[in-house]
Chains A and B, each alone.
Chain A
Amino acid sequence: MTVEAGLKDFERRLDALGADLDRWPASAAAEARALMARSPEARAQHDAAARLARLLAAAAQAEAPNGLAFRIVGEVAARRTQRFAWLASPGRLSLAGASLGAAALACGLMLGVVSGANSSQSAFAGGLGFGGPFEVSLATGDL
């Protein structure tokens, strides 16, 4: 591999695996150290990656606001209470009744549509179908 290709590959690995060579696979880390030993450009790339890693570590930090854990626990407790209250509420029963009514209506409509479709088929057969004798006539060439 040429030095230029080696540098390009090294840069990609720095971006993919981070600047801490101890966290790289052993063989890749050994190659990287050998490259850095003979190439000032590789050392500069590593320095830039290490600097970015330090900046990222600082940028990712955020101080927890005071009372955060207390508020989270309080919020979860409040939601549990709301949930229990809703389960025991008459409103839930009304909602269940309304849902049942809606389901019954939907079933009724569906049944109506299905039976309606059957009626249409029957009407079609009765009104426009020519029936068995007609087909027999066609087959025997009477028509």
Chain B
Amino acid sequence: MTVAARRMASVSGGSRMAAADRVRPPRADTEADEDDDLMARIAAGDQRAFATLVARHGARAQALAHRFTGSAVDAEEVAQEAFWRVWRSADRWTAGGARFTTWLHRIVVNLCVDHDRRRRIRRLLPFAETFDPPSDEAGPEQTLVAQDEVAAVRRDILELPARQRAALLLSADGEKSNAEIARILQTSEKAVESMLVRARRMLRTRLAARGE
């Protein structure tokens, strides 16, 4: 593992993934190359390049965090923290290694998992509701009235264990391969398949139980 790859892995909260990225073939991906260029400019302190990067990827990072946490407010905090880490670590970014989006999504997922852990701990405290308002997903009653099956699926997703939830949300747009999701989650492709099997099985069972 190169020194730069090790540094990037430590910034995003882990080190296992960099080895997988090392063996990736050279990319001919225009969007990824543009991200690399932007990161090089950000490393030189170019705030306009940073704004462009945020405009390109901010909404997606926020959407991932929103569906993970169930709260638009928490999601925005996660997105802000993620991009702050991007800014701080831009000088250590090496073009041609991992994709920028893989790294960004890894930061977002790690922040979401931390957020989830803190929320579980807060729930043990007295007056937990004061500090931890409920998610902004529709409740069961609202879902029943609105017959909104998408809202019901969102509630089911929030009940999944954190890593399964992350794997499922990363796979939901159908654009990322299981190999790429494995790189984001810093695990093996087999482990991702296993998470997806458990998550989709649970969702299918819930769907069937609702008779949808």
Which A residues lie at the B interface, using CB under 8 A? 12, 14-18, 20, 23, 48-49, 52-53, 55-65, 68-69, 71-73, 75-77, 79-80
A and B contact pairs by CB, cutoff 8 A, 8 listed: A15-B201, A17-B193, A18-B171, A23-B177, A56-B171, A62-B72, A68-B79, A71-B80
CA distance A72 to B157 in the complex (A): 26
Alpha-carbon gap, A78 to B50, bound state (A)? 14
Residues of A within 8 Å of B72, CB to CB, are 62, 65
Decide if B172 is an interface residue (CB 8 Å cutoff). Answer: yes
Complex Cα–Cα for A48 and B200 (A): 11
**At the interface, yes or no: B6 with Cβ under 8 Å from chain A?**
no
Residues of B within 8 A of A64 (CB): 58-59, 62-63
Judge whether A55 and B153 touch: CB under 8 Å: yes
Given contacts A15-B201, A20-B174, A52-B207, contact A59 B150 (CB under 8 A): yes
Partner of B55, one of A52, A56, A69, A77: A69
Q: Give the dominant DSSP class at B's interface.
A: helix
Bound state CA distance, A64 and B174, in angstroms? 20
- Contact check, A75 vs B51: say whether CB atoms are below 8 A apart: no
Q: How many angstroms from the CA of A106 to the CA of B149 in the assembled complex?
A: 62
Choice from B63, B174, B197 contacting A53 with Cβ under 8 Å = B174
Contacting residues, chain B, for A71 (C-beta < 8 A) = 76, 80
In the complex formed, the residue of A with least CB distance to B155 is: A59
B150 & A58 in contact (Cβ 8 Å cutoff): yes
CB contacts (< 8 Å) of A48 on chain B: these are 204
| C-alpha spacing A129/B66, complex, angstroms | 72
Measured in the bound complex, the distance between the Cα atoms of B208 and A48 in whole Å is 10
Point out which of A15, A59, A61 has the most chain B C-beta atoms below 10 A from its C-beta: A59
Given the known A-B contacts A16-B193, A60-B173, are A79 and B84 also in contact in the complex, defined by CB atoms under 8 Å? yes
Contacting pair A23 B59 (CB below 8 A): no
Asked whether B196 lies within 8 Å of A15 as measured between CB atoms, the reply is yes
Instruction: Say how far A33's CB is from chain B's closest CB, in angstroms.
Output: 19
B173 near A59: Cβ-Cβ < 8 Å: no
B75 within 8 A of A: yes
Expressed in whole angstroms, the Cα–Cα distance for A76 and B53 within the complex equals 13
Q: How far is the CB of B78 from chain A (nearest CB, A)?
A: 11
Contact A56 B62 (CB under 8 A): no
Q: Is the CB of A72 within 8 A of B171?
A: no
